[in-house]
Amino acid sequence: MSENLIIAEGNKEEKYSTLYPQLKAIVEGESDEIANMANVSACLMDTFGFLWAGFYRVIDGVLVLGPFQGPLACTRIKKGKGVCGTAWQNAETIVVPDVEQFPGHIACSSMSRSEIVVPIFKNRSVSAVLDIDSKELGTFDQTDRIWLEKVATLFSK
Ligand code: SME
């Protein structure tokens, strides 16, 4: 694997379509999930310059902070709490255009204005979530959902 991430110029569709095959090669080339989550967080951050990008893993019935890039984050989130805990409970992606409008949103950073959380499945139950935060309102849409669900699938078994 090349050590340099290639980042496309242009719109988010072009960025994701250049990023995704590189993430696939990274994840398929390494068996350790933590190492892969660390590199995927770094590549998402490098490509898009989000506020925060990372993973929470289900450990002993709670979401525990995993590899991420960005500012300090809360370490444990219960099922049904915040955007992450709700995406886990509902086993589906949540796009939040304005975090202030999401009841129970957990503000790890006061700079976060919008967010997307995508579940990762193992044996059909949620084993982790991919969480991305933006400093701007309304950053995430269907394009992000589709591509980030593909990224999440790289971690599914
Ligand atoms: N905002 C999330 C908490 C995690 S941080 O954004 C990194 C939530 O409401 O679940």
Confidence of residue 1 (pLDDT cuts 50, 70, 90): low
Mutate which of 58, 106, 139 for ligand 1 pocket (most atoms within 8 A of beta carbon): 106
Domains delineated in the chain: 12-153 (3.30.450.40)
Mutate which of 131, 134, 139 for ligand 1 pocket (most atoms within 8 A of beta carbon): 131
> For residues 52 and 49, what is the distance between their CA atoms, to the nearest angstrom?
8
Locate 48 and state its tokens: 């898009």
> For residues 50 and 33, what is the distance between their CA atoms, to the nearest angstrom?
22
Buried b / exposed e along 15-44 (16+ C-beta atoms within 10 A): bbebbbebbeebbeeeeebeebbbbbbbbb
**Is the distance from CB of 116 to CB of 95 less than 8 angstroms?**
yes
Terminal C-alpha separation, the chain: 23
pTM beyond 0.85: the answer is: yes
Nearest CA owner, ligand 1 atom 3: 106
Is the pLDDT at 128 greater than 80? The verdict is: yes
Please give the average per-residue pLDDT across 52-79, as a whole number: 98
Assign 113 to helix, strand or coil: coil
Cα→Cα distances 12→74, 113, 115, 139, 145, Å: 28, 19, 16, 11, 12
Q: Hey, which residues does 77 pair with through a beta bridge?
A: 63
Please give the average per-residue pLDDT across 102-116, as a whole number: 93
